[in-house]
Every structure is written in structure tokens, then in C-alpha cells.
Amino acid sequence: MPEATPAPNPAPDRVTGTSRVKRGLAEMLRGGVIMDVVTAEHAKIAEDSGAVAVMALERVPADIRRDGGVARMSDPALIEAIQGAVTVPVMAKARIGHFAEAQVLEALAVDYIDESEVLTPADEAYHIDKWAFTVPFVCGATNLGEALRRLSEGAAMIRSKGEAGTGNIVEAVRHLRSILGDMRRITQADSAELYGWAKQLQAPVALVQEIAESGRLPVPLFCAGGIATPADASLVMQLGAEAVFVGSGIFKSSDPARRARAIVEAATHYRDAHILAKVSKGLGDPMRGDDIATLDVKLAERGW
Amino acid sequence: MKVGVLALQGDVREHSQVLAELGAHPVAVRTPEDLTGVDAMVLPGGESTTISMLLDSSGLRRPLGARLAEGMPALGTCAGMVLLATEVLDGRPDQESFGAIDLTVRRNAFGRQVASFETDLDVAGLSGEALHAVFIRAPVVERAGPAVEVLASVADSQGVPRPVLCRQGVVVAAAFHPELSGDWRVHEMFLAGR
């Protein structure tokens, strides 16, 4: 079992918890698939299928949506069991604004914390001050302003939110197009217009200027919420996502191991339609999924 | 010079940018056909278990292994070091590596992400200031064969000095990420060494 706290720093010239190492782990996950798992057995299946990381939680989003009630951080015993079962990074979710849950997850030495709208928010005004932590954070965003506000709070990875637990890709596409479309427009803006963009996005002008210069977010942009097929993964990666989170889409399908592996291959070969055709054959039934218009609760509207 | 960057998963873009800045011609390698005309190979950081599975599904393991066995120059960083080694500890039981450099490597030897760190390294044969190095869930070398030159070491979580930058002929392996620190001397050494 991993130790709950990191070993004491053996060398004083060694620095942990820097932006460079936080963003660095996200960069190492590029081109990969991060899979939601609810048991150590699921975690093994995910790793065997080529997952770059797993997200440890008690219920996948489709079940959270079905069951209702308050969704909270997972039981530490479950997280430890999953950490003990796999060698790939293990992530876990904290409620929006629930910095005490995040402190517990850091004590468990999870590799990334997802401050997630899939859980019930704990604070209606403030997200977690993520600079205060050594462990890196990923946050969801539906548009560029939201992404930049999360970055200003210290997030080291952004994922487009999509609509978790639906198996419906339409919201992920909307959010990605919004984020990437505004970034493309910002690269065309002159220096005076960047102040207008900062005002419109309600985001720090320094981050807007950084995007104008580089054409990219300063951290990796991944996609979550609604990915259920290899072609879904290809679609969002061709749109500009650098990796994908798959939640309910794998373990709510009829043949999880096979589908997981196919989505992993799709994330690598996302521009090669022949390989996509090959890996998409005979995967069994995907998760059933929901039309967005029929939903009572839109998880993506949590957070701001 | 055409330098292939294994583009199955990981920080492919950073390596490609460094190689282009240094005047090489980086080529993304995802299928056996992509290996055609490639003079040298970079194996980037990423998840070695994922890359290993994709080496099999893409059909790249055999042709890439053959090129490495013929003596193609290669640079592996972090997961790339794991893939180039002869033996992997704390990996998956079915994890195979290329054996292009005679190393026994332990995965995640410093612990989980909260133990990932930056530090300055003294590197044998590099002139100028210390090399700034970024270690992310990094492996270390537990055994280096007689043909391997150890160029830099750091203390592991037990305080034992472990090699983190090694060379054997035209193959260079780093436990850290020279593509992330803005100091490109490891890539320069690799490109000059062929």
C-alpha cells in the first residue's frame, strides 16, 4: 500500500508542488483515456485496457443522476483499495468549494483532485483555493471565462464539462467549441481588445494575453461528459481536446473491457478513420444514454 | 535528420518542439509505416503501461524493436526510459521492454504525484551550469550494466543515490523530463551522439 504522506524530502534543493510538476503530470496524460472506476476490480480492468489514469469514485455519474441525494467524496478505504490495485495515477473527486475533502484526498496522496460538478457543490460562492495544495487539481469548464477563473485559482488541468452520466456528446461539443472558438478569436484580437476580452470573460487579463501569444491554454485541455464510443473520443480530439475522461460510458456498456480498449486505441489514432472503423466493430451495446432535453438536473450548470 | 517521436500517448508535442528548435525534423510515429526513413527515435514521457499496450495494438513493437536492435539512436524520458530498459520492477507482470539499454528500472520510485519534484543536477560531461530537471512520478535505475555510463544521479525516497541519466552508445535514457525544463542540453547531447 502507498504511504498516506510523502516521505520527508531527502534533499533540501528539491522542490515539490510547483506549477511545473502539477501541469507536467497532465501533460504526461495527453492522448490518453482516464476512466471512472468504482471498485478495485474495475480499476484493474481499466488498467488492463490501457487507461492512463483512473478516477476513484463510489458511483459513476449515471448512477449519481439516477439515485439523487447528496453526492460526496468517496470513502478513503475505497480510494486506498484502488491505489493498491493499479500502478497508473489515481484521481478522486472533491465537491466544489469543499477544501476539507480536498485536504483528506491530499493526505491519501491521490495523484490528482477533480473539483467536480458531478458531486453536490459545498460552496455557492467560492471554488477551492488550489494554490494552497501540493497535489494538482483538474476543474471543469463550459466556456473560456470559467476555464480561466479556475486557472487563476490554481487548477493545473481543465476539462470541458459536457453533461456527465448521459452518454450524450452534444454538451461536450458545445463546451469545447465555445472554449476553443473564443481562444481562436483572441489570437486575432489586438492588444487593446484583449482588455475587453478579459472584461467579457470575467478573467485575469494576464491569462487572456498569454492565450493571445501562444494560441493555447497554459495547461492541458481535456474533455469529459458524454463520451460513450471510440468515434466520440475521435470527435472531441479532432475538435481540440488533448485527452478524454470516460465515466459511465465504459462500465455502463455491455462489454466494458472491450469498449475501454477500443476507446484507448481511438484516442491515439483519432485521425485515422480506418483504425477507428476496425476498433469500433462488435463492441456490444453502448450505455443507453439520455436526451439532454429530458434531464431534471444539468450538472454542468454547477460552478461558475 | 528525421527523428521519430513515438506518438502513441504522452508529451509528444514538447519533444517535437525541442527537436525542431534544434534543427532536427521530428516525425510523429503511430504506425509501422511511420517508421520509414526515420534515423533516430525519441520515446516520450507518458504512462508506460498504456504505451506498451498500444505498441502491441499498433503493430509497432516488432519493427521498432528491430530498429533499436540494429543500433538506431534513441532517447527515452521517464516512461521512455522504462520502455528502453532491459528489466522493469513494479510494473505490470506482462509489461515488456525493448532492452536497448542495459538497465533495471523501478517505476514510480519516488512515490506518488505529491512527491514529484524539480531539482538541479550535476551532469558528467555537460559544461556550464547545473541542469534543471523535472521529475514526475519518476522511475529510477536500480542496476546499470557494465556498458552503461551513468551521467547523473539523485537520492531516492530511501536516501540511496540512484542513476537518473544514463548513456550506452547511441541510446540515452533519463528518469526526468529534459523536454519540460527549457534546457535542451540532453537533446543536444543525444542529437550530437549519433
ipTM, two decimals, is: 0.96
* Per-residue confidence (pLDDT) for residue B159, from 0 to 100: 84
A to B CB pairs, distance under 8 Å: 143
Between B160 and B174, residue with greater pLDDT? B174
- Min Cα separation B2/chain A (Å): 21
Which of A15, A22, A30, A275 is most worth mutating to test chain B (most B CB atoms within 10 A of its CB)?
A: A30
Alpha-helical segments (H) within B11-112: 12-21, 48-57, 61-69, 79-84
In A98-127, the residues whose Cβ lies within 8 Å of chain B are 106, 109-112
B172 has a pLDDT exceeding 70: yes
Identity (one letter) of the amino acid at A175?
Answer: H
Give contacts of A156 with chain B, Cβ < 8 Å. Answer: none
Residue A7 has pLDDT above 70, yes or no: no
CA–CA separation, B148 and B102 (whole Å): 7
In contact, B166 and B103? CB cutoff 8 Å? yes
Gap between the Cα atoms of B92 and A282, Å rounded: 28
Query: Could you give all domains of chain B from N- to C-terminal order, each with its CATH number?
Result: 2-192 (3.40.50.880)
A5/chain B closest Cα distance in angstroms:
9
- Higher per-residue confidence, A111 vs A64: A111
Q: What is the pLDDT of residue A11?
A: 57
Report the residue from B91, B115, B180 with minimal CB separation from A16. B115
B114 close to A (CB below 8 A): yes
Strands (DSSP E) found in chain A: 15-16, 33-37, 53-56, 90-95, 112-116, 137-141, 157-160, 221-223, 244-246
pLDDT at residue B11 is higher than 80: yes
CA A266 – CA A252 distance, rounded (Å): 19
Mean pLDDT score, A112-123: 97
A196/B20 Cα distance (integer angstroms): 35
The answer to whether A1 contacts chain B (CB < 8 Å) is no
Element holding A253 (H helix, E strand): none
Averaged pLDDT for residues A154-176: 96
Give dist(CA B166, CA B58) in Å, integer. 28
Subunit contact A87:B78, Cβ cutoff 8 A: no
B92 close to A (CB below 8 A): yes
- A 11-40 → B contacts, CB under 8 A: 11, 13-18, 20-21, 24-25, 27-32
